[in-house]
Amino acid sequence: MAVSKARNIESLDEICESLDNLYLKNLELMEEKIQANIQMEIVLREGHIELAKARYIRGKESMGRLQLPTKDEEVFSLFDLETTISEEKEIPHFDISLKKSNDNDQDIQDPIKRFGVLVPQNLRNAQKKFQESLYHATKVANVSAELFGTQNELESLMNVKKSLCGDKSKIKA
């Protein structure tokens, strides 16, 4: 009886240590997510400013709804989103990459060409900033997925700890 009691205490200590480590990891992931969100906001703000400068340079009539695709036109992304799920933790991992070839006979065209051949440098800078924000968005998604997995681990360990603590109260009584 004394050996099983010591084994439960040892496992309870291990669970408590694991919980502490998971809480620290959870806090680190929260901080990383906040920093990634801030970076994404900064890049998006810079992109909008560059877009406004380009519109000012070209004039508001030359950059407007006429350059937007209509309902009849098909729009294809310049990027591929790849999702992989790790088998050990079942956490999805997202990765984004620039498309390089036409696999499905799709005519993938750079959207900046809708504004003409000689576009202002500010428009190209805006495009780069918005593309960079996509990379930040995938980073935020990866951190969020990892945070979700950590929270699930915390819940399961808390349930194990509660069951062990419940068993101890029965032993003492």
In sequence order, what are the residues at sequence separation of 6 or more whose Cβ sits closer than 8 angstroms to the Cβ of residue 154? Answer: 19, 22, 23, 26
Distance from C-alpha of 144 to C-alpha of 152, rounded to nearest angstrom: 12
Question: Residue 37, SS3?
Answer: helix
Q: Is residue 166 part of a domain?
A: yes
In sequence order, what are the residues at sequence separation of 6 or more whose Cβ sits closer than 8 angstroms to the Cβ of residue 171? Answer: 5
Give the chain's domain count. 1
For 144, counting Cβ atoms within 10 Å of its Cβ (0-12 exposed, 13-18 middle, 19+ buried), the class is middle
Q: Is residue 106 part of a domain?
A: yes
Q: Is residue 69 part of a domain?
A: no
Q: Is residue 111 part of a domain?
A: yes
Mean pLDDT by 10 residues, the chain (173 residues): 43 87 95 97 96 84 67 76 81 84 63 81 92 94 94 90 71 41
Distance from C-alpha of 23 to C-alpha of 16, rounded to nearest angstrom: 10
Q: Model's pTM, two decimal places?
A: 0.75
Residue 123 structure tokens: 């428009």
Q: Is residue 140 part of a domain?
A: yes
Residue 101 has what pLDDT?
59
Boundaries of domain holding 148: 2-63+74-172
